[in-house]
Amino acid sequence: MVEASMTLPVLILVILSVILVFLFFFESLTARTSMQEELMERCDRTDGVFGIERSDTTVARMSRGAFRGLFRSDLNARAYALGQPKAVRAGRLVQDE
């Protein structure tokens, strides 16, 4: 009986800790997805023939409870923008010469 009274609270704390880690990863995934959507919209509105769009964000979550700590993730994304109408026109100019 003594083993169960010690094991059960530890097991509950471990399960709660795993849930907190999953929440951090889900928040990181959500931030990365929104960052990629923003980059795709910026690439669609590009005016040049070629460009590089960059975006940075930080996801941080403070854990509380038995183990205190800061989960932190720096997210960097890069997208290559290609203005298709201008690239086609530039290609035709190069091919004509």
Domain ranges of the chain: 2-96
> In this structure, is the dihedral angle defined by the CA atoms of residues 20, 23, 29 and 32, taken in order, positive or negative?
negative
Closest CA to 41 of 94, 79, 84: 79
Between residues 60 and 1, which one has the greater pLDDT? 60
List phi, psi (to 5°) of 30.
Answer: -65, -40
* Token pair 């975006």: residue: 55
Q: Stretch 56-78: mean pLDDT, rounded? A: 80
**Contacts of 15-19 spanning 24+ positions with Cβ under 8 A:** 16/65, 17/63, 17/65, 17/66, 17/67
pLDDT at residue 91, rounded to an integer: 67
Q: Which residues contact 36 (CB under 8 A, 6 or more apart)?
A: 77, 79
Using one digit for the tens of pLDDT, what is the confidence trace for 10-53? 888 888 888 888 888 999 999 999 999 998 888 888 777 778 88
Q: How confident is the model at residue 95 (pLDDT cuts 50, 70, 90)?
A: low
Return the structure tokens found at 56: 């940075």
* Token pair 């854990």: residue: 63
pLDDT at residue 59, rounded to an integer: 86
